[in-house]
Structure 1
Amino acid sequence: MFGGSLHVLLKMFRAVILFCLLAAAAAGPPVVKTRREIEDLKQTLERSREDDGLTLEERMAMRPLQSEWANSGKFEGDMILTDEQIQDLVDGFSSSGRMATTRANSRWPQSTVVYEFGSGEFNLDQQRYILMVMERLSIRTCVRFRTRTSSDRNFVRITGRSDGCYAHVGFHSTLGAHTLNLARSTPGFGCLDFVTVAHEWYHILGFHHMQSTHNRDEYVRIHWENIQDGFAHAFYRYDDTTNLGIPYEYGSCMHYGTHYFSRNGRPTLSTTRQYNGVLGQTDHISGWDILRLQRHYNCPGAWSDEAMTKARTTAIVQAENGHLVEKELDQPPADEFEHLEDFE
């Protein structure tokens, strides 16, 4: 009798385990992607490195709700991928259904970026404006910029092609010329808006977009049904990223806006918490953005309480005289905002 009861209990236990496994499988995406899905992604990533023949002005006319950098025709809008990065992304996607970045180190050696302006690309005022943004990042962090010499094999070439604002992501020891393109315009506008210039430098310095970080689903909701065909990859998350001990931030200069890559004019991204600010803002470089850069390059004092306080209470803005200055600005992280009822 005891043996019969044990047999029944074992059958019930197996049934419960099977039910849980089936429920988990039904609730989430398939772990392994089909060969067609993998090939489609690879081709999409490859095409993102090609010139589609459109100018930034033409893309802005087609998608006016996006920023210039998001309209630049590259991966996620403005990121140039290397062969190795494409392979990493495809490998991660094929095994887990998500993106993965497996490169161990995206930092520039000795925290120093070597750069040159492409010959004849910018006039003096445009060069001065770009250099002003670089100087401000240097003042607030331990990152340094120096001009290229004949012995430098790896460097950033700053160009002004009319097709958009975009850049390589991180340092690549075998790449040689890393590209940072800023379509020429009047300083303060278009790709030469100071936040956009900083955004592209953040890519060069090793950063991806804020909403692709591993824990983004706690803070934003992706409306897949509203995303333009062929652009779902722009909203995948990276499970192997780190936030460097800094809370998720809606006000980051690296965050998508609410309607990026929308196919129907409806939001493609919304917050799961009550936030009254602007996603995808281009008004300032936040204190949290600065702290992320400090910590990524392990700058002195970057892990102190003082640095956290400064990140919360200051931002870099453009003054009326055109100079970039620090301004007191309360910037609470997303963790401090109340959850919307629909997401509780």
Structure 2
Amino acid sequence: MLRFVVLCCILAVAAAGPPVVKTRAQIQNYKIALEKSREDDGLTLEERMAAHPEMNAWANSGKYQGDIVLDDELIEDMVEEFSTGSRMAYTRANTRWPQATAVYEFGAGEFNLDQQRFILNVMTRLSERTCVRFRVRNANDRNFVRITGRATGCYAHVGFSANRGIHTLNLARSNPGQGCLNFVVIAHEWYHALGFFHMQSTYNRDTYVRIHWENIQQGMSHNFDRYDSSIVSNLGLPYEYGSSMHYGTHFFSSNGRPTLSTTRQYNGVLGQTSVITGFDIWRLSRHYNCPGAWSADVMEKARTTLYVPTEEGDLIEHTVDSPLIDELELFEDTKFEEEDQN
């Protein structure tokens, strides 16, 4: 579950499967799919979960890649890249929040006191382990995250934009600890707001996962786009299956078969919402250049640490034996061929 960062510049999507040359119909369908991800389809998260229980709350939220809110400018860039197949870079503003401080406000009447406290507690726990800070919006703040509780799901804009004004972060209301108010899901949406896309869309993902395009729901293949290395950075950290930012194996499946599988031995859960890993924490620290985030000692700590939320909202540090992904055994291609035929 690697959270690679939106690197201060560009958004050119490199889809890893479809052909380079696109027909006019393909281009139009791609644009329609991106635009549709911004619309309210009239479904609640509860209804989507009933229809697709194999997906978790953030993946089931009806946006691009499940929970990413797109801007007009970003869609235009993505469609142009898709149509040309080029790796052009589209200059964009720095996506880090200035002074490593995200400005926020709760939408009026969106959450009760217990729900607000739980959300704020997640933000506090992230601040305790990184140099990222959160500050309540004041009258002079034009750019800020508005935290809302619409029933449609859990989703957010990616990163800071000086031209955006209100940055969306929605968490469908529920009891603290459940649904979108799961501790790790809240952290996941804040990772988007702080500048991260999903792990499996990083540029070198095809070394670690295989996308089963034939099992993906019609019109949903864009959710498996990947980004060029000029767009995102892995920050010198390994690809991580266990990251809270990684897709699950059956997200957007049309037939109950996997849409994504690992190319290396992995016995854990993909798409988990139970823990925040050490690499999750230190990717955030590196993205914001926190003191000490690039030291060798930090790498070793990240490699052997999990942060486990408690029912009370604490984040308990656990030391584990968690080998780097590069130490795992590479599967033989024949194994995948056998699985695909079953």
The TM-score normalised by the length of structure 1 is 0.89
Corresponding position of 2:203: 214
Cα distance per residue 1:297-325 (max 9 Å; x no partner):
11111110111011111121113544222
Return closer, same or farther for 1:101/1:256 CA change in 2, 3 Å cut-off.
farther
Of 125, 128, 135, which residue of structure 1 is paired with 2:114? Answer: 125
Corresponding position of 1:223: 212
Corresponding position of 2:167: 178
Q: Is residue 330 of structure 1 aligned with residue 337 of structure 2?
A: no
SS of corresponding position for 2:306: strand
CA contact (8 A) 1:115 1:158 kept: yes
CA contact (8 A) 1:170 1:204 kept: yes
Distance 1:283 1:168 in 2: 23
Moved segments of 4+, more than 4 Å: 97-102
> What is the 5 A alignment of 1:38-77?
38-77=27-66
SS of corresponding position for 1:74: coil
Corresponding position of 2:275: 284
Q: CA deviation at 1:280?
A: 0.5
Q: CA deviation at 1:98?
A: 8.1
Q: CA deviation at 1:37?
A: 1.2
Cα distance per residue 1:162-218 (max 9 Å; x no partner):
010000111111111111000000100100000000000000001000000000000
Corresponding position of 2:5: none
> What is the 5 A alignment of 1:1-344?
30-96=19-85, 103=92, 105-240=94-229, 241-319=232-310, 321-342=312-333
Return closer, same or farther for 1:84/1:115 CA change in 2, 3 Å cut-off.
same
Distance 2:243 2:334 in 1: 22
Give the gaps of 5 or more residues in structure 1.
1-27
CA contact (8 A) 2:105 2:146 kept: yes
Larger CA Rg, structure 1 vs 2: 1
Query: Aligned Cα RMSD in Å?
Result: 1.7
Distance 2:18 2:34 in 1: 21
Return closer, same or farther for 1:211/1:102 CA change in 2, 3 Å cut-off.
farther
Distance 1:51 1:171 in 2: 23
SS of corresponding position for 2:226: coil
Distance 1:96 1:221 in 2: 21
SS of corresponding position for 1:69: coil
How many positions carry a matched residue from both structures?
Answer: 317
Cα distance per residue 1:56-82 (max 9 Å; x no partner):
000001110000000000001000001
Return closer, same or farther for 1:100/1:137 CA change in 2, 3 Å cut-off.
farther
Question: Which residue type is aligned with residue 329 of structure 1?
Answer: V
The TM-score normalised by the length of structure 2 is 0.89
CA contact (8 A) 1:93 1:100 kept: no
Cα distance per residue 1:37-95 (max 9 Å; x no partner):
11111111111111000000000011100000000000010000011111121122122
Question: Which residue type is aligned with residue 280 of structure 1?
Answer: G
Distance 1:322 1:148 in 2: 24
Cα distance per residue 1:211-266 (max 9 Å; x no partner):
00000000000000000001000011111321011110000000000000000000
CA contact (8 A) 2:49 2:60 kept: yes
Question: Which residue type is aligned with residue 212 of structure 1?
Answer: S
Cα distance per residue 1:17-45 (max 9 Å; x no partner):
xxxxxxxxxxx854332222111111111
Give the gaps of 5 or more residues in structure 2.
1-16, 336-342
Corresponding position of 1:16: none
Distance 1:213 1:204 in 2: 17
Question: Which residue type is aligned with residue 131 of structure 1?
Answer: L
Q: CA deviation at 1:105?
A: 2.0
